[in-house]
Amino acid sequence: MSVLERLRKRSGLLVAIVGLALLAFVLTGLFERGSSVFGGSERAVGTIAGKSIDYNAFNAKVQDALENQKKNSQKSTLTAEETDQTIQQIWNQTINEEVMNKEYEKVGIAISDEELYDLMVDHPHSALVRNLSDQQGKVSQMFADPQTGQVSPQKIREFTKKMTDDQESQWSKLEEYIKQVRIVEKYNNIIKKGLYTPTAFAKREYIAQNTNASIKYVIKNYKTVVDSTIKVSDGDLDKYYKAHQNEFKQEASRKIEYVAFDILPTQDDFDDAKKALQKVAEEFKTKKAIEDSAFVIGESESRSFDMTFHTKGTLSPMIDTTMFNSEVGTVVGPYLENGSYKISKLEATKTSADSAHVRHILIAYKGAAQAPPTCTRTKEQAKKMADSLMNILKNKKGDFKDYVMKFSDDLGGKNAQADPKNPKKFVMGKDGDYGWVNPKSQFVEPFKNAGLDGKKGDFVVAEAQFGYHLIEVLDTKGKMPKVQVSTIDSKVNPSNKTMQGVFVKASEFAGKNTTNDLFQKAVIDQKLNKRIADNIKENDKTISGIESPRALVRWVYENKKGTVSEPQEYGDKFVVASITEVREKGIAPLEQVKDDVTSKVIKEKKAEQFADEFTTAMAGGATIDAIAAKMKLQVEQAPSVNFATTTIPGSSNEPTLTGTIAAMKAKTLSKPLTGKEGVIVAYVDTKTDAPAQKDYKAQQTQQVQQIASRVDYEVYDALKKNANVEEHLVRFY
């Protein structure tokens, strides 16, 4: 029994929710996929805070969630994306239960029945409002205040008197969701309220960011010396690696190299597809116009019949000229276009205006695009109203402008105002007048066509996504032909014979090259296009160039470095892959990061060499200009540098330089500084102290706000990291 059920026995209030899809019990944006490594039981989908999450128990929740989603969406099956999303939501819910809920219990956060009732009814929580709204943010009519469009507590109370058992069950689940949202808000607010920046910290940052120095400096860029000239020994690499191991922390990942054998239709496949469609074309020629729509939908792969009348130049170049110079009933094709054979038939022709001057009244209905929040009329009511107004205007019983102001739902037109300085100047939309339209005008097609297909004085009702347009054609210019063309399309797909041939080729390659060395040699010998996929995580769902690669990711994590796969089918290709690198979570071994370590050691040696050169040039108290001359370098200037400066001319972000300058006095020269781009010597020419300030409350508030803005996501990330969450969903789904 829900808290609502218990409370309503005391209050006499009934609440319910109808037709709402239940959001997953997880906060949007808080939970992100964690890193993955092998470990634990083979039947575990992961581990959280040392607890193994059993597959059977987890899968029972998944299956229940999937069935609920099918029921709510009224689908018999779900897409792979929908299924995967649901599985991930259940995993996030599990993390929430094992990590966050225990933390909330430890702190003592709870939601009383009275508080939850207030969140659900008296003062609806924003998360509840989202559940009662559509994707555009419009509140469902059954819960909306007719004046404001906002959720009405009274509407909720009134409607809930009709709650069924099924609706009560849905509401209970929604209560749990809102309860969880509010608990998280309370927890995060506790942390935010506990944040504090000492006055000394605020003062120090204020001074650092507002004390400016004008400097001259000389930089010798590492790029001025070629890497190959720097000698690096194994001892150098080992020494650097041991001293900087934290730089080489990594998550578990894999690297593969693979070749793809594309499954493409052969010439025989194209010939067979063309022959098959030629037979369809002969039958198409015999069909009467009244039979064409059903025939096209039945025979066409796209299952559609085009009712549009096209102007010249808007059809496919393959048929455009022919259709405008043929008789109705002409059949063209088969012709090949974008990998499909097509047959097109000229269904009808007509003549329209080149341009038309139109004005309109828009009659919207509930659910139409951009319909006003207060619009409650049905589609049928809107059509009836538009027809009625058209009859009145046709019989000249009313003034169009007056009806625009009284009935039109086109707010842009109703609110358009004349230019006070030039009252006769045309204003788009004023009094419903949208001026001259042509086929290229930026209006919806039904609106344009109603004007172009009409004649001066016509009144037409046209349906579009915004509602029903009551259009008056004020004038027309010119004439242009239009044609209606129906098309049957048939994509040329590889035959079973073709697919078998590609599979045999891929199998032969995999069978002969069972080691990475053989794989690499064969790629070179056969001049194949080798592709690389690096940094593959265990729960990755995408690999560039491979469709739905979860099976490949699973295979990669089930095998060792150097293993070559059997051919695996992914979309329109067979893939043979070789595992070329296996990286486990932790400190990467030197062999895996040798190139990176070598690069860092070379940079370090260059820095030592450059620092020695600068030290020699600085001997005897040389000036910055003299140092530059001896080093054959340019003196650079930066007029305003402080602790918050991110870049200076001639270099990238150099925190060592800006940090050193902050501590230097005017008219002093720095020692050689090892920067990111090179070694630098700086001279502080002048220094302007930060303006004196007695009160640093503004800085304290700003710093606290900056930290508080990160609480909502960083607290969860910290707790999750501390729980050492490991996810292995790819092994099972």
Q: How would residue 73 be classed by pLDDT, with cut points 50, 70 and 90? A: confident
How many secondary structure helices (H) and strands (E) does the chain include?
Answer: 25, 22
Q: How would residue 139 be classed by pLDDT, with cut points 50, 70 and 90? A: confident
The tokens describing 625, both together, are 């200009």
Structure confidence at residue 21 (pLDDT): 30
Q: Exposed, middle or buried, 488 (CB in 10 Å: 0-12/13-18/19+)? A: buried
163 lies in the same domain as 66: yes
Structure confidence at residue 32 (pLDDT): 34
Last residue of a domain, one of 352, 375, 394: 352
The tokens describing 357, both together, are 């001057």
Within a domain: 207:
no
Within a domain: 141:
yes
Residue 36 has pLDDT above 70, yes or no: no
Last residue of a domain, one of 308, 328, 352: 352
Is 255 in contact with 482 (CB distance < 8 Å)? no
How many domains, the chain? 5
331 lies in the same domain as 453: no
Q: Per residue in 398-445, pLDDT tens?
A: 789 889 988 999 877 667 777 788 878 888 888 899 999 998 888 998
Q: How would residue 42 be classed by pLDDT, with cut points 50, 70 and 90? A: low
Cα-trace Rg, the chain = 36
Residue 282 has pLDDT above 70, yes or no: yes
Within a domain: 644:
yes
Provide DSSP, 129-141.
HHHTB-TTSPBPG
Structure confidence at residue 537 (pLDDT): 94
Taking residues 465-485, report their average pLDDT.
94
Taken in order 365, 366, 368, 372, the sign of the CA dihedral is positive
394 lies in the same domain as 459: yes
539 lies in the same domain as 617: no
Task: Indicate the range of 389-398, 528-537, 549-558, 590-599 predicted with least confidence.
Answer: 389-398
In Å, how far from its chain's centre is CA 14? 40
Structure confidence at residue 651 (pLDDT): 63
In 3D space, the residue among 114, 57, 59, 488 whose CA is nearest the CA of residue 304 turns out to be: 488
519 lies in the same domain as 614: no
Within a domain: 483:
no
530 lies in the same domain as 545: yes
Residue 583 has pLDDT above 60, yes or no: yes
> Bridge-partner residues for 469, per DSSP?
362, 462
Q: Per residue in 88-136, pLDDT tens?
A: 999 999 998 899 999 999 999 999 999 999 999 999 999 999 888 887 7
In Å, how far from its chain's centre is CA 123? 32
Last residue of a domain, one of 532, 561, 583: 583
Task: List C-alpha distances in Å: 548 to 80, 156, 540, 554.
Answer: 9, 44, 10, 12
* Percent of the chain as helix, strand, coil, to the nearest 5: 45, 20, 35
Taken in order 392, 393, 396, 398, the sign of the CA dihedral is positive
Task: Indicate the range of 2-16, 37-51, 235-249 predicted with least confidence.
Answer: 2-16
Taking residues 697-708, report their average pLDDT.
93
Structure confidence at residue 45 (pLDDT): 92
Q: How would residue 194 be classed by pLDDT, with cut points 50, 70 and 90? A: very high
Q: Largest Cα–Cα distance of the chain, in whole Å?
A: 104
Separation of alpha carbons 85 and 90, rounded Å: 9
36 lies in the same domain as 114: yes
Q: Residues near 57 by Cβ (< 8 Å), separated by ≥ 6?
A: none
SS3 at position 34? coil
402 C-beta neighbours (distance < 10 Å), count: 10
The DSSP secondary-structure symbol of 487 reads E
206 C-beta neighbours (distance < 10 Å), count: 19
547 C-beta neighbours (distance < 10 Å), count: 12
Task: List C-alpha distances in Å: 258 to 320, 548, 558, 579, 672.
Answer: 44, 16, 17, 9, 48
What DSSP element (H or E) covers 83? helix 80-95
Q: Per residue in 539-548, pLDDT tens?
A: 898 999 999 8
Is 70 in contact with 78 (CB distance < 8 Å)? yes
In 3D space, the residue among 535, 538, 581 whose CA is nearest the CA of residue 46 turns out to be: 538
CATH assignment at residue 549: 3.10.50.40
Provide DSSP, 523-592.
HHHTT--EEEEEEE-TT---BTTBSSTHHHHHHHHHS-TTBBPPPEEETTEEEEEEEEEEE-SEEPPTTT
What DSSP element (H or E) covers 194? none
SS3 at position 341? strand
555 lies in the same domain as 410: no
Is 17 in contact with 170 (CB distance < 8 Å)? yes
What DSSP element (H or E) covers 633? none
368 lies in the same domain as 431: yes
Domain coverage including residue 360? 355-477
Q: Residues near 318 by Cβ (< 8 Å), separated by ≥ 6?
A: 332, 335, 337, 342
Residue 216 has pLDDT above 60, yes or no: yes
Q: Residues near 296 by Cβ (< 8 Å), separated by ≥ 6?
A: 304, 305, 486, 487, 488
Within a domain: 728:
no
420 lies in the same domain as 542: no
Within a domain: 487:
no
Within a domain: 231:
yes
Provide DSSP, 356-407.
EEEEEEEE--TTSTT--TT----HHHHHHHHHHHHHHHHTT-S-HHHHHHHH
pTM (2 decimals)?
A: 0.66
Long-range contacts of 224-231 (CB under 8 A, 24+ apart): 224/678, 225/606, 225/609, 227/599, 227/602, 230/602, 230/605, 230/606
346 lies in the same domain as 364: no
> Bridge-partner residues for 636, per DSSP?
217
537 C-beta neighbours (distance < 10 Å), count: 19
* pLDDT above 70 as % of the chain: 94
SS3 at position 283? helix
730 C-beta neighbours (distance < 10 Å), count: 20
17 lies in the same domain as 90: yes
Within a domain: 698:
no
Residue 72 has pLDDT above 90, yes or no: no
Structure confidence at residue 227 (pLDDT): 96
Place of tokens 């040699």: 521
